[in-house]
Amino acid sequence: MFLDLDANATYAADERIQVLIAQAMDTLGNPSSVHRAGQRARAAVEEARQSVRELVGAAAEDQIVFTSGATEANNTVVSAAAGLRSGHLVSTQIEHPSILAPLARAAQRGCEVRLVAPEPSGEILPEGVAKVLTSDTALVSVMMANNETGIINPVEEIARRARSLSPRALVHSDLSQIVGKQKFSFSELGIDIGTISGHKIGALSGVGALVLRRGIEVAPLVVGGSQEMKARGGTENVLGILSLGIAARMVSESINRRIVQMSALRDRCEEIILKGLPGCEVNGRGYMRLPNTSSIFVEGVRGDDLVVALDLEKILVSSGAACSSGKPEPSHVLLAMGQDEERVRSTIRVSFRADQYRQDAERAADALVRVVMRMRDERGGAAHAA
């Protein structure tokens, strides 16, 4: 059996969710239809909305807007903010490409974009953000947890600074990776907008949501229908939204247990690797991190090759963010942290699921130690022969 240690790329729906999604397959009317098939679909969508609201700790007056995923949600936020008067946009160098790419496009169109660099630990400091804020800033967007390192940023404090220094700014945080891995409350974070992703918590891919604080409106990215309170045109992805609702409910019910289990798995895995393998380092160790994520530098091996070698051992990890291009570029996150390219290319990411066991973590760590020793031998041998 494959051991999936790439939960940050996608958290595949577990069996219970699969069954519930399958059962929901006959709820596929158009939620905008008047007839009863439409009514059933509408009810399912609204129930899911409530589940998501509870999952993120949003107030009853806050809005949940379903999108095709976190990428669309992030694009919506940046595009909306870029259309505002000042054009001064603040974010960080470690954001997901779905923030960075729209920001780059906004910059080409004349916006002033400031990207705050992380500390060597990977953390974004509130002071660093505060330094670039102006009274005219239109957007402050800082991800809550980084997908590659798992480092958790002090978003609450950043939001507080943004409020006082940039009262007109939309304060946004990409919450894709924090959901299901750490307890938090949207209301207490003090942000205006949050992004969440379905497939990072066990829903189907192709669904995500924006969480909008009461009274906050953003110009829709997708127009052509009055769905989602006119914030996102297009017939709702009913099955996707249903799956997000189901996953949200399950996560809400089990969040404490999930955190305990995932941190135990991660700590055990890191312990075996750091003990068994000289020349390894865990990025951001000792800082606030997601309980399931290890970003591990392994001296003397290529991260990409290690991913292949572990896949052949039926252990799924990644060498950074999931790569859609086929050709892996070195991680922009680790580079921004000041690491050199060779080190970055020798780094892999291990991200656990909550339904895995201690023996899984041990099997993975043992395999990693064994494979790395073999790869180091081959490299040493080849260097010798040459």
Partner 1 sequence: MRHDSLAVDTHLSAAEPVVVAMSGGVDSSVAAYLLAKRGHPLVGVAMQVWDYKKNSAENSRATCCSPADFCDARMVASKLDIPFYVVDFEKTFEREVIQRFVETYQRGLTPNPCIDCNSKVKFRELRERARGFGCTTVATGHYARIRKSDKGFHLLRGADRNKDQSYFLYTCRQDELGSTIFPVGDFTKPEIRELAREAGLITANKAESQDICFVAGSVQDFVVTIGGSRGKGRFVSTSGEVLGEHEGIHRFTVGQRRGLHLGGATEPLYVVGINASTNEVVIGNRSDLKREGFTVNEMHWVSPDLIEAVCERRFPIEREIVAQVRSRHEGVRARMVARDAESCEISWSEDWAAVSPGQAAVLYDLNNEEVLCGGRIAPFEV
By the rule CB under 8 A, 301 interacts with partner 1: yes
Which residue, 150 or 303, is less far from partner 1 as judged by CB? Answer: 303
Which residue, 1 or 312, is less far from partner 1 as judged by CB? Answer: 312
Task: Compute how many residues bind partner 1; rule: CB under 8 A.
Answer: 18
**Contacting residue, 1, 34, 60, 386, with partner 1 by CB under 8 A:** 386
For the annotated catalytic residues, the residue numbers are: 323
Residues 359-378 that bind partner 1 (CB under 8 A): 371, 374-375, 378
Which residue, 60 or 385, is less far from partner 1 as judged by CB? Answer: 385
**Contacting residue, 305, 355, 362, 366, with partner 1 by CB under 8 A:** 305
* Residue linked to tokens 């921004």: 336
By the rule CB under 8 A, 60 interacts with partner 1: no
Stretch in the footprint of partner 1 (CB under 8 A) among 37-45, 146-154, 244-252, 306-314:
306-314
**Contacting residue, 80, 298, 309, 316, with partner 1 by CB under 8 A:** 309
Shortest distance (Å) from residue 148 CB to partner 1: 19
Shortest distance (Å) from residue 312 CB to partner 1: 6
Stretch in the footprint of partner 1 (CB under 8 A) among 3-11, 106-114, 193-201, 320-328:
320-328
**Contacting residue, 299, 304, 355, 362, with partner 1 by CB under 8 A:** 304
By the rule CB under 8 A, 326 interacts with partner 1: yes
Rounded (5°) CA angle 175-148-360: 100
Q: How far apart are CA 344 and CA 204, in angstroms?
A: 31
Residues of this chain that interact with partner 1 (CB under 8 A) are 301-302, 304-305, 308-309, 311-312, 326-328, 371, 374-375, 378-379, 382, 386
